[in-house]
């Protein structure tokens, strides 16, 4: 028999949701700086460097969005797990009652 504490799983789910929201908010706040790089000069090197920095910023934001999305899915899975254990415990109490 497993000893699972649905309340602890629910707390972890809420925590993961909060972390995900914080990550998304931080990325959103930084997006202007990460995507708004302009060339320092009129030469081709400055333009290419600005393009490279904007591309790196876009890659970072894409990775951050994917990571936050994975955490949201993990949070949802934990929530479902907690609910499932609570339901199974309730069914067991009814069916195994003397």
Kindly list the distances between the CA atom of residue 26 and the CA atoms of 9, 80, 88, 93, in Å, as whole numbers in the listed order. 26, 27, 39, 45
Confidence of residue 1 (pLDDT cuts 50, 70, 90): low
Structural domains in the chain (count): 1
Do the domain assignments include residue 98?
Answer: no
Do the domain assignments include residue 1?
Answer: no
Q: What is the CATH number of the domain that holds 60?
A: 1.10.287.850
Mind listing the pLDDT tens digit for each residue in 43-73? 999 999 999 999 999 999 999 999 999 999 9
Do the domain assignments include residue 85?
Answer: yes
Is the pTM here over 0.85, yes or no? no
Do the domain assignments include residue 82?
Answer: yes
The residue range of the domain holding 79 is: 6-93
Confidence of residue 86 (pLDDT cuts 50, 70, 90): very high
Residue pair 49/39 in contact (Cβ under 8 Å)? The answer is: yes
């Amino acid at each position: 028999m497993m000893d699972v504490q649905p309340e602890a799983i629910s707390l972890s789910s809420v925590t993961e949701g909060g972390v995900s929201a914080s990550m998304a908010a931080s990325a959103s706040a930084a997006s202007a700086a990460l995507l708004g790089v302009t060339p320092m000069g009129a030469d081709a090197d400055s333009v290419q460097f600005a393009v490279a920095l904007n591309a790196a910023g876009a890659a970072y934001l894409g990775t951050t969005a994917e990571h936050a999305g994975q955490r949201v899915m993990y949070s949802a899975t934990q929530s479902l797990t907690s609910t499932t254990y609570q339901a199974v415990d309730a069914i067991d109490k009814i069916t195994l009652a003397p």
